[in-house]
Amino acid sequence: MNKQELKKFKFTSYDKSYSTEIHIKNPDKYREIEKDSSLSDDLISMGSGFSYAPASFKEKTLSLKMDKFNRILHFDKKEKVITVEAGIKIYELLNFTLQHNLWLTQIPGYPLISIGGAVASNSHGKSCGIDGTIRHSIKSISLFHKTNGWINLSEKENQEIFDLTIGGLGLTGTIVSVTLKLVDFDGKFETTKQEVNSVKETINKIKKTEPSTFIYSWNMANDKNDFGKGIVFKNKILKTQNKKYNFKVLKKKNLLPINFWNKYSIKFSNFFFYNFHKLLKKSLDEKFLDVIFPFYGKEIYFNLFGSKGFIESQLIIPEKNIDEFFNEFLHLNKKLKPSITLFSIKNMSGKQKLIRFEDNNICVTFDFVNNKKNKEFLQHLDKLCIKYQILPSIIKDSRLEKDIFDKCYSEADIFRDKLSKFDKRRYYKSEISNRLKL
Ligand SMILES: Cc1cc2nc3c(=O)[nH]c(=O)nc-3n(C[C@H](O)[C@H](O)[C@H](O)COP(=O)(O)OP(=O)(O)OC[C@H]3O[C@@H](n4cnc5c(N)ncnc54)[C@H](O)[C@@H]3O)c2cc1C
């Protein structure tokens, strides 16, 4: 390997937990993927580099950044099928498909994320209670592996590697193109809101699924008396003639060096958010962008964590354990008083397998300020994950340890065995794969 020839770049994960020098190559042609992959024995593919946890890089590793592979290769409107290169950004894909009244529902909440990154993390969108994860929309994948070469993957061809690649965090090789099934969208979103006073009331409301409706909540976690108080949002798709979509590229905002989030600012922003939605119209037409990409234009939320960043804990909790889990969570919350800036609940559907974050249960998200006190709280939360058979997200939580991961993901060893069978030398590596010994 010729690392001297490769330029070094400092790269930081989106949650700011990990920063290191890496090598980056931006292949532009198919033969450049082959050539660049031969430059290093430690490599990984990179989409937009927007994962909270360091999933597409590692110290001294070569990251193949796929953003020049952003073309639409094939589109069949009648069959509702599209083949795109993996580096295409979600907003670029939507700008094209929405002109034809089609879209992909399982898209993550930020428009600059790449399709390759969404496939490798088995992403889900706001509709995950009804549509599950992106796995359900993938027909086939074209993969390049440094020593195994070019491979077509689908349910019919190389099924085992297809299965390992979806949600496989780029560890099977470089996804070069993906064929996706699309669904109709010839409408607009109408958003309705309902106030809730507890976690129990929230869960009762979000469990009532309705066709073409996405349900999720925003709740408060800063005040023991108001714990769980919040708003349940419903986005219903309504048919309309009056449609116009054209999303523009966004730029990342600069980082603030100081953390702004503390118990006072969290209390104030929760009070403001709750009353704003309580007083605003209960039903309104919302822009596509605001519904599907809730953080679009609101990147300031992340910047306000300062240079130390944040920790996100996203958990899939079995419904049968949810009451007991929240009883213990509340007890710990009162005792350790963590600074929680975001608390949200939604339904998730699907079947857990390998290392995929997916199941037929309740999905709960918490954002924490990255500090010692909160990390201590999160260690207790890890124990609750084991106790209540909860699945913590790997791509979101950068501090998750192998021991916790192994106890929560029952097929972790099956993934490891199948991956080593496919790639004995284990060329593709990231900070996550290193930490979790994948
Ligand atoms: C603001 C924000 C909101 C988000 N909302 C959601 C959400 O609602 N739902 C959700 O599921 N996720 C969400 N995410 C997480 C995000 O979807 C994933 O982290 C996704 O993987 C990021 O994609 P990326 O293009 O930035 O890829 P990267 O971060 O660069 O890489 C992510 C993983 O994909 C692999 N990968 C990327 N491209 C390829 C390729 N071409 N071939 C092989 N492997 C590849 C990498 O190796 C890595 O393991 C959100 C992230 C942000 C920043």
Token code pair at residue 359? 């199941």
Ligand 1 mutation pick, 36, 50, 115, max ligand atoms within 8 A of CB: 50
pLDDT digits 0-9 by tens, 48-73: 999 999 999 999 899 999 999 999 99
* Distance separating alpha carbons of residues 381 and 391, to the nearest angstrom: 11
Residue nearest to atom 46 of ligand 1 (CA): 56
242-287 residue pLDDT tens: 666 666 655 555 566 788 999 999 999 999 999 988 887 676 777 8
pLDDT on residue 26: 96
Q: How far is the CA of 263 from the centre of ligand 1 (A)?
A: 30
Task: Report which residue type is found at 257.
Answer: P
pLDDT > 70? residue 109? yes
CA 310 to ligand 1 center in whole angstroms: 17
CA of 284 to the centre of ligand 1 (A): 31
What pLDDT score does 284 carry?
76
d(Cα 232, Cα 220) in Å, to the nearest integer?
A: 12
Write down how long the chain is.
438
Q: Ligand 1: which of 30, 71, 114, 293 to mutate, most ligand atoms within 8 Å of CB?
A: 114
Residue 115 Cα, ligand 1 centroid: separation in angstroms? Answer: 8
Q: What is the pLDDT of residues 348-369, one digit of tens each?
A: 999 999 999 999 999 999 999 9
CA dihedral angle for residue 86, residue 137, residue 103, residue 45, rounded to 10 degrees: -20
- What average pLDDT score do residues 386-410 get? 98
Minimum CA distance residue for ligand 1 atom 12: 108
CA of residue 433 to ligand 1 center, whole Å: 15
Phi, psi angles (nearest 5°) of residue 48: -100, -5
| Cβ–Cβ < 8 Å for 312, 397 | yes
Q: Which of 100-104, 139-143, 283-287, 422-426 is predicted with the least confidence, judged by mean pLDDT?
A: 283-287
- The 10s digit of each residue's pLDDT in 170-206 is 999 999 999 999 999 988 889 999 999 999 999 999 9
Buried b (16+ CB within 10 A) or exposed e, 186-218: ebbbbbebbebeebebbbeebeeeeeebbbbbb
Task: Say which range, 272-281, 372-381, 393-402, has the weakest mean pLDDT.
Answer: 272-281
- Tell me the CATH number for domain 72-184: 3.30.465.10
- 164-178, 224-238, 321-335: segment of lowest average pLDDT: 224-238
Determine the Cα–Cα distance for residues 153 and 3; give it in Å rounded to an integer. Answer: 31
Which of 9, 16, 46, 61 should be mutated for ligand 1, with most atoms under 8 A from CB? 46
| d(C-alpha 241, C-alpha 261), whole Å | 43
Q: What is the Å distance from ligand 1's center to 66 Cα? A: 12
Could you tell me the residue ranges of all domains in the chain?
72-184, 187-408
Q: What is the pLDDT of residue 326?
A: 97
State which of 42, 112, 121 you would mutate to test the pocket of ligand 1, scoring each by most atoms of that ligand within 8 A of its C-beta.
121
Our mutation pick for probing the ligand 1 site, out of 11, 37, 56, counting the most ligand atoms within 8 A of Cβ, is: 56
Q: How far is the CA of 240 from the centre of ligand 1 (A)?
A: 32
Q: Residue 111 C-alpha to ligand 1 middle, in angstroms?
A: 11
CA of 314 to the centre of ligand 1 (A): 15
Pocket test for ligand 1, best of 32, 123, 128, 299 (most atoms within 8 A of CB): 123
Q: Which two tokens stand for residue 74?
A: 């094939």
Q: What percent of the chain has pLDDT over 90?
A: 82
pLDDT at 313: 98
Tens-place pLDDT, residues 13-62: 999 999 999 999 999 999 999 999 999 999 999 999 999 999 999 998 99
- Atom number, ligand 1, closest to the C-alpha of residue 57: 47
Q: How far away, in angstroms, is 346 Cα from ligand 1 center? A: 20
Secondary structure in 3-state letters for the chain: CCHHHCCEEEEECCCCCCEEEEEEECCCCHHHHHHHHCCCCCEEEECCCCCCCCCCCCCCCEEEECCCCCCEEEEECCCCEEEEECCCEHHHHHHHHHHHCEECCCCCCCCCCEHHHHHHCCCECCCHHHHCEHHHHEEEEEEEECCCEEEEEECCCCHHHHHHHCCCCCCCCEEEEEEEECEECCEEEEEEEEEECCHHHHHHHHCCCCCCEEEEEEECCCCCCCCCCEEEEEEEEEECCCCCCCCCCCCCCCCCCCCCCCHHHHHHHHHHHHHHHHHCCCEEEECHHHHHCCCCCCCHHHHCCHHHCEEEEEEEECHHHHHHHHHHHHHHHHHHCCCEEEEEEEECCCCCCCCCCCCCCEEEEEEEECCHHHHHHHHHHHHHHHHCCCEECCCCCCCCCHHHHHHHCCCHHHHHHHHHHHCCCCCECCHHHHHCCC
Mean pLDDT of 142-163: 98
Q: Say if residue 4's pLDDT is above 60.
A: no
Whether domain 187-408 has CATH 3.30.70.2520: the reply is yes
Cα(46) to centroid(ligand 1), Å: 9
Rounded to two decimals, what is the model's pTM? 0.96
Q: Is the pLDDT of residue 209 over 80?
A: no
Residues near ligand 1 with C-beta < 6 Å?
14, 44-51, 55-56, 66, 86, 108-110, 113-114, 116-118, 120-121, 123-125, 169-170, 174-175, 295, 395, 430
Q: Whose CA is nearest to atom 16 of ligand 1?
A: 51
pLDDT at residue number 241: 66
Distance CA 223, CA 149 (A): 55
What is the 282 CA–ligand 1 centroid distance (Å)?
A: 33
Q: What are the C-alpha distances in Å from 414 to residues 353, 394, 409?
A: 10, 17, 10
How far apart are the two ends of the chain, measured CA to CA in Å?
23
Å from CA of 39 to ligand 1 middle: 24
Residue 339: the pLDDT is 94
Q: What is the pLDDT of residue 243?
A: 62
The number of angstroms, rounded, from the C-alpha of 103 to the middle of its chain's C-alpha atoms is: 18
Residue nearest to atom 32 of ligand 1 (CA): 117
Q: How far apart are CA 414 and CA 402, in angstroms?
A: 15
